[in-house]
Structure 1
Amino acid sequence: MILKAFLVGGLICGLVQILMDRTKLLPGRIMVLLVCLGVVAGVLGVYKPLIDFAGAGATVPLCGFGYTLWEGIRNAVNEEGFIGIFKGGFNASSIGITASLLLSYLASLIFNPKMKQ
Structure 2
Amino acid sequence: MDYLYAFLIGGIICVIGQILMDVTKLTAPRILVIFVVAGAILTGLGLYEPLVKFAKNGATVPLPGFGYSLAKGAMDGAKDGFLGAITGGIKNTAAGVTAAVVFGYFVALIFSPKSKR
TM norm. shorter chain > 0.5:
yes
Distance 1:89 1:115, change over 3 A: closer
1:45-89 CA deviation, whole Å, 9 max, x = no partner? 1111111111111001110000100000001111x2111232121
Aligned partner of residue 26 in structure 2, secondary structure: coil
AA partner of residue 66 (structure 2):
F
4+ runs deviating over 3 angstroms: 113-117
Count of residues in correspondence between the two structures:
116
Q: Give the match for residue 98 of structure 2.
A: 98
Aligned partner of residue 109 in structure 1, secondary structure: helix
AA partner of residue 41 (structure 1):
L
Q: Give the match for residue 85 of structure 2.
A: 85
Report if aligned partners of 2:76, 2:85 keep a CA contact under 8 Å in 1.
no
Unaligned regions of 5+ residues in structure 2, if any?
none
Unaligned regions of 5+ residues in structure 1, if any?
none
- Normalised TM-score (structure 1): 0.92
The answer to whether residue 62 in structure 2 is matched with residue 61 in structure 1 is yes
Counterpart-to-counterpart distance in 2, 1:116 and 1:67:
34
Counterpart-to-counterpart distance in 2, 1:116 and 1:44:
41
1:14-37 CA deviation, whole Å, 9 max, x = no partner? 011001100011211111110110
Identity of aligned residues (%): 47
AA partner of residue 48 (structure 1):
E
Q: Give the match for residue 73 of structure 1.
A: 74
